[in-house]
Structure 1
Amino acid sequence: MTTTHEFWLAGRRASGDTDFEVRHSYDGRLVGRVAVPTDAQIEEAVAAAAAAAPAFAATPAHVRAAALDHVSKRLAERTEEIARLITAENGKPIKWARGEVGRAVSVFRWAAEEARRTNGETMRLDTDPGGTGRFAVVRRFPKGVVLGIAPFNFPLNLVAHKVAPAIAVGAPIILKPAPATPLSALVLGEILAETDLPAGAWSVLPVPNEKMPALVRDERLPVISFTGSDKVGYQIMDSVPRKHVTLELGGNAAAVVLADWSSEADLDWAATRIAMFSNYQGGQSCISVQRVIADATVYDALVEKVVAKVQAQVTGDPSDDAVDVGPLVDENAAKRVESWVDDAVAKGAKVLTGGTREGAAYAPTVVADLPADAILATAEVFGPVLSLHRVDSTDEAFAAVNDSAFGLQAGVFTHDVQTAFRAHRELEVGGVVIGDAPSYRADQMPYGGVKDSGVGREGVKYAMADFTYEKVLVLTGLDL
């Protein structure tokens, strides 16, 4: 008999009146059952968070930092267990799941460090005669309780990017994990329960999506941090125009290979990184390589290498250490990817490899001659599919990158430092990676996009700034 996983209500275990199943997308087996909080329990969690907010904001930095250090340590100790859980609920290959746990370990460690070093700033005000004898202290204070809404594709690390910064600044957080992948977040709750954080400082509530609008509108939750689709994200923002909403949304990331990236070693590296990062996580990452934009002088050689390296990606059971690409999160996701590729082919695109589906798994796929009116050309595929595009100049390449409703990250393969700075200046994205795929993310750096890729930034220090506001203290009558 499968045990029903309890959730975490204001720091304690709780169980509701109903539950739901979590199944493995590779073989359909039951991974676990998860209790659903009742309306009364959701209200209890919100009330507890609101009540705890003033005292939590006033906790000494060492208390919050110690809790964050503890979480980091315990995640590291339980890496293999949690990685296996991520693979079971998400379908992510085990080697990528281990990497995700490692990243979450770092996120909580950085949050502990930032909690200790966040000192604010001081400034003397006697730079003008009216400020004689006056001195200012500027500090940051929490805006209030954070409602963190997490996606399925990184069920631990993107949860960490909401929970760790909130704890670091002393803001209570109510975390809503994705319905498909709640188990990793519930394990994080186990670890948080081992700390000395106040009871109302955190809850992990697997709330059904249909109950979220009321929670989003609750005035006691002034900050919303959402990661997911642009459609849902902007619906949230439009429904609460007076709240502080941060959105990490989609992308259709481009890898640009310019004419100077032309040696055999250069093209091998570019093809290896493109093949890996168009397929890692099954392509279910906002910065997976979706578009390859290559100068005509290197296009043919690059295409040959990319296709070969995509074909070399090992598919199969994600619990196998040798597997590179597992299933998508569920069969419906794979069917959608299949329909998008079929649409592109019907409009004239050529499939160079892949293009087949088996259950929830979609084969690593490369498409050429993609017509502009295909949905694959403009939307985020969120699957293991990349398209190849030939251009005749850097101008044309950069214009192609910017010809998108999204702007999350771009990768530019070039040796020219002037071109690197030009890319940084001209590309309409939140991040430019030189000499590598757009899929590189260091969890301490600012991460986020422009246009339909969202607003606000993740990265521990930057999320902490998003969750707080500046307050100035002016001291008067001082002999400076």
Structure 2
Amino acid sequence: MQDLEPFLVGGEWRTSPAVLDVTDPYNGGSVGSVCLAGREDCNDALVAAEAGFMQMRDLPAYRRSECLMAMADYLEEHADEAAELIISEAGKPRQAAVGEVIRSADTLRISAEEARRIGGEILPLDWTEGGGGRTGYLYRVPLGIILGITPFNFPLNLACHKLGPALAAGNACILKPASKTPFSALLLGEAALAAGVPPEAVSVLPCLPETAEAMVSDSRVAMVSFTGSPEVGWHLQAAARTPRVGLELGGNAAVIVHEDADLAYAAARIVRGAFSYSGQACISVQRVLVHLAVYDEMRLLICERAASLVTGDPAAPETDVGPMISESAAIAAEKKIQEAVEAGAVCCTGGKREGAVLQPTVLENTEPAMAVNACELFAPGLTLTPYETWAEAVAMAADTPYGSAGRYLYKRPHPHP
């Protein structure tokens, strides 16, 4: 990695006097410094993307597919470098970081396959007298410039989720990575150029939020794809000039464990779903609803597994739970847990913090209105709540403004969903 990492504007690597220092969330050390794109750079990226779109639009499907396959190959060839970047800038444990690189290559390969499947439809119009002898043809065409804004928690794979489909469909794409994790997206920019993607069609722009918002509100952007917090997502939707805004926002996913479930299997899946990458995922398990008949056994199984997880240095192969993205994020999550305990909740295991590392935490005796239930915790914590009837459990699971994920663990279908 260079001492001062440039950003990518339509195939051109640029530097700037504005610099962002990226720190390791575990030890506070320097990961590196990246130059920040300014308003002029972003305008140049949009101008380049207009030309890049024309090239991508005319590029045959097989060539778009080949480029995406080559990008996947590039990531696999640089898998060790990519994993180390994710470990250092995102604090993701080694196993999870390696898994993200593998998944990123898969995302690009799936996009490559879909590039060859963009079809249309033939519609007979003779269902009325006036339509006799007429046929409708539906074609799918690329939109133009896609602006992808990605979060820190999957800095490489979610960038692939934006860039891969955009290029597959024949669009140009501008990526704005999270400020805490810009290096993974810049590596993806390298992959795109090495793979033969038309240079003008790809830009990767670490920049200030107000600079990104100026692009969101630019009429040249045909679609905005955002993954991140609900507050920022809804704000950007309001600011966008285009009606095409895709938002992937927060969640506080519920799991229902019924009395006939395989409890050992359920406990293993719940602990993995709640504490992987310190719970920093929009589909992370947060609320666990357990049938009263098996509640005590389930609590014991979950707490034993949670307490056995290895916390600490994400670079160590044995680490299960590393740091949160920053110490301030860990402090905020710890505060919500402490507030719940002060209001009557019981901490069954965990609850302690050292720097940015928050121990896997299991709470019971919580109330629905507590922040650990009502809000997205985005941290390694879950709540346990007993229920008596299946209908009651479903109602409790649905009592949330979020909607990213939900899970149901039972052996037999139930007649009263």
TM-score with structure 2 length normalisation? 0.97
Question: How far does the alpha carbon of each residue in 1:372-413 deviate from its partner, in whole angstroms, 9 at most, with x for none?
Answer: 332112000000000000000100100000001111111110
**Cα distance in 1, alignment partners of residues 11 and 129 from structure 2:** 52
The match for 2:231 is 231
- Residue 255 of structure 2 is matched in structure 1 by 255
* Aligned partners of 1:142 and 1:170 also within 8 Å: yes
| Counterpart code for 1:85 | L
Aligned to 2:84: 84
- How far off its partner does 1:354 sit? 0.6
Answer with 384-393 or 203-212: which moved more: 203-212
Q: Which residue of 2 aligns with 1:150?
A: 150
Mapping of residues 46-445 of structure 1, within 5 Å = 46-240=46-240, 242-261=242-261, 266-418=262-414
- Once the two structures are superposed, the pairs formed by residues 26-45 of structure 1 within 5 Å of their partners are 26-45=26-45
Deviation at 1:371, TM superposition (A): 2.3
Q: Tell me the CA shift for residue 242 of structure 1.
A: 4.5
Q: Structure 2, unaligned stretches of length 5 or more? A: none
Q: Secondary structure at the match of 1:341?
A: helix
- Conserved in 2, the CA contact under 8 Å of 1:171 and 1:201? yes
Once the two structures are TM-superposed, the CA of residue 241 in structure 1 deviates from its matched residue by 6.4
CA contact (8 A) 1:347 1:371 kept: no
Q: Which amino acid aligns with 1:87?
A: I
8 Å contact kept, 1:225–1:245? yes
SS in 1 for 2:384: strand
Q: How many Å apart are 1:2 and its aligned residue?
A: 6.1
Q: C-alpha distance in 1, partners of 2:219/2:364?
A: 49
Take 1:196 and 1:361, find their aligned partners in 2: how far apart are those partners?
41
Contact 1:156–1:185 (CA<8 Å) still a contact in 2?
yes
Q: CA deviation at 1:78?
A: 1.7
Q: 1:38 Cα deviation (Å)?
A: 2.4
Aligned-pair CA distance for 1:155: 0.2
Q: For residue 265 of structure 2, what is the amino acid of its counterpart?
A: W
1:144 partner amino acid: G
- Mean Cα deviation higher: 318-327 or 236-245: 236-245
The separation in 1 between residues aligned to 2:104 and 2:142, in whole angstroms, is 23
The residue type paired with residue 325 of structure 2 is V
For 2:389 and 2:18, the matched residues in 1 are separated by 59
In 2, the alpha carbon distance for the partners of 1:131 and 1:55 equals: 37
How far apart are the structure 2 equivalents of 1:129 and 1:121? 22
Residues 52 and 198, structure 1, Cα contact 8 Å, conserved in 2: yes
Secondary structure of 1:42's counterpart equals helix
Shift in Å, 1:337: 0.5
Distance in 1 of aligned mates of 2:119 and 2:240: 31
Do the aligned residues in 2 keep the contact of 1:91 with 1:329 (CA within 8 Å)?
yes
> Deviation string for 1:341-385 (max 9, x for gaps)?
011111111101111111111010000011233211200000000
Moved more, 104-113 or 122-131: 122-131
Moved over 6 A (4+): none
Contact 2:218 2:241 in 1 (8 A): no
- Give me the CA root mean square deviation: 1.5
Match of 1:222, SS state, is strand
Distance 2:366 2:333 in 1: 15
8 A Cα contact 1:276 1:313, kept in partner = no
For residues 245-271 of structure 1, give each alpha carbon's deviation from its aligned partner in whole angstroms, at most 9, with x where no partner exists.
11000000011101221xxxx111111
- Specify the SS of the correspondent of 1:260: coil
**How much has 1:283 moved relative to structure 2?**
0.5
Contact 1:290 1:381 in 2 (8 A): yes
Offset, 1:418: 4.6
Q: CA deviation at 1:240?
A: 2.7
Give the Cα–Cα distance (whole angstroms) in 2 for the partners of residues 328 and 210 of structure 1.
25
Instruction: Give structure 1 stretches of 5+ with no counterpart.
Output: 424-480
| CA distance in structure 1 between the partners assigned to 2:223 and 2:295 by the alignment | 46
Partner of 1:255, secondary structure, is strand
Identity of aligned residues (%): 39
Aligned residues: 417
Report the Cα distance in structure 2 between the residues aligned to 1:76 and 1:137, rounded to whole angstroms.
40
For residue 259 of structure 1, what is the amino acid of its counterpart?
E
Contact residue 217 and residue 241 of structure 2 kept, 8 A: no
**Offset of 1:202 from its aligned partner?**
1.1
**Structure 2 CA distance, aligned partners of 1:397 and 1:232?**
31
Q: Is the 8 A contact 1:155 1:177 kept in 2?
A: yes
Which amino acid counterpart does residue 99 of structure 2 have in structure 1? G
